[in-house]
Homo-oligomer: A and B are copies of this chain.
Amino acid sequence: MSSTANVPEKGTPLSTPANLLTDVPLPAAAIFEAPLAHNLAWMQRFADDHGAKLAPHGKTTMAPKLFKRQIEAGAWGITLATAVQTVAAHAHGVDRVLMVNQLVGRPNMALIADAIAAGLEYYCVIDGIENVRDLGAFFAARGLTLHVLIELGIDGGRCGCRTASQVDALVAAIAEQPALALVGIEGYEGMIGGGDEVAAVRAYGERLVDTVRTLQASGLLKRQAPIVTASGSKWFDLIAEAFDLAELREHYTPVLRPGCYVVHDHKLYAGAMDQIKARDPNLEGALQPALEVFAHVQSLPEPGLAIIALGKRDIGHEPDLPLPLRLYPASATSGAASSAPVAAVDVSAWRTTHIMDQHVFLQIPENAEIAVGDVIAFGTSHPCLTFDKWRRMLLVDDTLDVRDVLETHF
Complex: chain B residue closest to A106, CB-CB: B334
In the complex, 13 of the A-B residue pairs with CB atoms within 8 angstroms, ordered by the A residue number, are A1-B67, A4-B91, A7-B92, A25-B84, A26-B105, A101-B298, A105-B333, A106-B334, A130-B371, A130-B373, A158-B361, A162-B302, A391-B410
For residue A145, give the distance in angstroms from its CB to the closest CB of chain B: 21
A45 within 8 Å of B (CB atoms):
no
Taken residue by residue from 52 to 85, chain A's Cβ proximity to chain B (1 for < 8 Å, 0 otherwise) reads as: 0000000100001001100100000000011110
Number of interface residues of A (CB under 8 A): 83
Q: Which of B127, B158, B358, B410 contacts A313 (CB 8 A)?
A: B410
A-B contact sample (16 more), CB < 8 A, given A2-B92, A25-B107? A1-B71, A8-B88, A8-B111, A10-B410, A24-B107, A25-B108, A26-B105, A102-B372, A106-B333, A130-B373, A131-B299, A155-B302, A156-B302, A313-B410, A357-B385, A391-B391
Nearest first, the 9 A-B pairs at minimum CB distance are A1-B93, A159-B299, A25-B107, A81-B358, A7-B91, A104-B296, A25-B108, A130-B372, A4-B91
Q: Does A384 contact B (CB under 8 A)?
A: yes
Q: Are A6's CB and B107's CB within 8 A?
A: no
Contact of A357 among B25, B59, B102, B361 (CB under 8 A): B59
Shortest beta-carbon distance from A302 to chain B in Å: 7
How close is A68's CB to chain B, nearest CB, in angstroms? 5
**Residue of B with least CB distance to A385:** B312
Contact A14 B373 (CB under 8 A): no
Q: What is the 8 Å Cβ interface bit string for chain A, positions 378-394, against chain B (1 contact, 0 not)?
A: 00000011001101000
Question: How far is it, in angstroms, between the C-alpha of A1 and the C-alpha of B358 when the chains are bound?
Answer: 36
Query: A190's closest neighbor in chain B, by CB?
Result: B356
Q: In chain B, what residue has the closest Cβ to A156? A: B302
A162 touches B301 (CB 8 A): yes
